Amino acid sequence: MKKVIDLRSDTVTKPSAGMRKAIASAEVGDDVYKEDPTVNRLESYAAELFGKEAALFVPTGLMGNQICLNVLTNPGDEVICERHAHIFQYESGAPAMLSGIQLNLVEGTRGVITPAQIEPLIRPESAYYMPRTRVIEIENTHNVAGGAVFPIENIIEIKNLADKYKLYTHLDGARIWNASVKTGISLSEYAKYCDTLSCCLSKGLGAPIGSIILGTKDFIKEAYRVRKAIGGGMRQVGIIAAAGLYALENNIHRLAEDHHKARILAEHLDTLQNVEINLESVETNMLMFRPISMTVEDALSKLKEEGLILGTGGFGIIRAVTHMDVSFDDIEKVKVIFFKIFA
Ligand code: TLP
């Protein structure tokens, strides 16, 4: 049987042998009593890595983002974010559902928003008839923008703006690892410019489940309460945290290889006639491209017949994401399939 190559997302990876070993030998306890030694180790390791006071292990990136927003806001408040932000596009309306808050959207350039765009949207304190602006949220790397890195200069400017208006900043850092590996900027440097952040162990780092949120000790104390309230209090979850620890210790630096593989595919697609791709937009492990003279659905089903599963990045485009379960050999096979369908 032909091997299927799955590039729908970097979430599709399966735990490696080393990770499974770490899972099997994990020490566990009841984490709702804070007695799981492996979870405790993961949280303190992450807090140190990001230079934040405290961290909390949560099941998913969505829950991580939403707990942060819930703690930072009150019902009726507003969060400013980019128009294609994950919290707006792909979190099932959770800001409204869980926190009673609304989002004020800024049209970014490849996911990047600027203080000049944000400042006019900040509601005056005196305007009691308007929602209260409370948080500025950014995403790094930006998913819909194809894994685009948010430049650190913009992040610093946004943090300064937030400070000027006494707003909080939240970073959706589901793929902050990719940004850090790409730019060489440390995780703790990125973390300096946000009050809260959420990062995913289950994307490029290869863990089966798990995200971590970070902030001050006071913030994490509140977050702990919210996590329980929405059903995220887990018990002997050290078996999963062990995978997360393994991922942090072993799988960050290798992301450069995923970036390289995405680049190889992008350069190949750029030579093919029936595809539109902006090479400059391929910065990390994602590529977004538009099929020419066929619909996205047709292209996806033709690719699938050849043994390659891709997904859509929304907005009429196809998304391919490289990850640790695709080898350089697989990448060569993908090139052949692309040639067959798009040349
Ligand atoms: N993104 C998934 C899909 O939801 C689109 C993917 O395959 O890329 N923030 C960002 C920036 C994300 O890309 C994702 C997942 C999340 C948060 C949510 O993480 P999970 O799936 O763990 O809830």
Q: What is the pLDDT of residues 272-285, one digit of tens each?
A: 999 999 999 999 99
Domain boundaries, the chain: 17-250, 254-342
Mutation to probe ligand 1, out of 57, 203, 309, 318 (largest number of atoms < 8 A from CB)? 203
Q: What is the mean pLDDT of residues 292-319?
A: 93
Give 304 Cα–ligand 1 centroid separation in angstroms. 23
- Rounded Cα distance between 217 and 306, Å, is 51
Residue 238 host element (H or E): helix 238-250
Q: How many whole angstroms separate alpha carbon 185 and alpha carbon 189? A: 6
d(CA 245, CA 55): 13
| C-alpha distance across the termini of the chain, in Å | 26
Q: Is 17-250 a domain of CATH 3.40.640.10?
A: yes
Residue 164: pLDDT over 70 = yes
pLDDT in tens, 54-81: 999 999 999 999 999 999 999 999 999 9
The Cα 132–Cα 73 span in angstroms is 9
Q: At what angle do helices 217-229 and 61-72 cross, to 10 degrees?
A: 120
pLDDT tens digits along 188-228: 999 999 999 999 999 999 999 999 999 999 999 999 999 99
| Residue whose CB lies within 8 A of the most ligand 1 atoms, among 137, 141, 143, for a mutation test | 143
Per-residue pLDDT, 329:
97
| pLDDT at residue number 1 | 65
pLDDT at 59: 98
Predicted confidence (pLDDT) at residue 82 exceeds the cutoff of 90: yes
Q: Is the pLDDT of residue 140 over 70?
A: yes
| Strand partners for 312 | 318
| Per-residue model confidence (pLDDT) at position 91 | 98
Q: What angle do CA 102, 118, 281 make, to 5 degrees?
A: 100
Helices (H), the chain: 17-24, 37-50, 61-72, 86-89, 94-99, 115-118, 152-164, 176-183, 187-192, 217-229, 238-250, 255-270, 296-305, 328-342
User: How far, in Å, CA of 259 to CA of 256, rounded?
Assistant: 5
- Cα separation, 332 vs 48, in Å, equals 39
Q: What is the mean pLDDT of residues 111-119?
A: 98
Instruction: With a cut of 90, say whether residue 53 has pLDDT above it.
Output: yes
Residue range 310-326: mean pLDDT, rounded? 93
Give, in words, the CATH class of 254-342.
alpha beta
Residue 326 has a pLDDT of 97
* Residues paired with residue 78 on neighbouring β-strands, in sequence order: 102, 133
**Among protein residues, the one whose CA lies closest to atom 17 of ligand 1:** 61
Instruction: Please give the pLDDT value at position 75.
Output: 98
Q: Are 188 and 51 in contact (CB under 8 A)?
A: yes
Q: How many residues does the chain have?
A: 343
User: Ligand 1 within 6 A of 9 CB?
Assistant: yes
* CA distances in angstroms from 29 to 33, 34, 44, 57, listed in the order given: 8, 8, 16, 14
pLDDT at 266 exceeding the cut of 90:
yes
**Residue 39, pLDDT score:** 98
- Residue 251 Cβ inside 6 Å of ligand 1? The answer reads no
Average pLDDT over residues 82-94: 98
Interval 257-265 mean pLDDT: 98
Q: Hey, is 241 helix, strand or coil? A: helix
The CA–CA distances, whole Å, from 77 to 116, 120, 211, 251, 276 equal 21, 17, 25, 38, 40
Mean pLDDT of 13-23: 98
What are the start-end ranges of the H helices in 29-112?
Answer: 37-50, 61-72, 86-89, 94-99
Query: 314 CA to middle of ligand 1, Å?
Result: 13
Run of H or E residues at 182? helix 176-183
Query: Is the shortest distance between the CB of 10 and ligand 1 below 6 Å?
Result: no
Tell me how far the alpha carbon of residue 89 lies from the centroid of ligand 1, in angstroms.
Answer: 10
Alpha-carbon Rg for the chain in angstroms: 20
Mean of the per-residue pLDDT values of the chain: 97
- Is the pLDDT confidence value at 2 over 80? no
Res. 314: pLDDT tops 90 = no
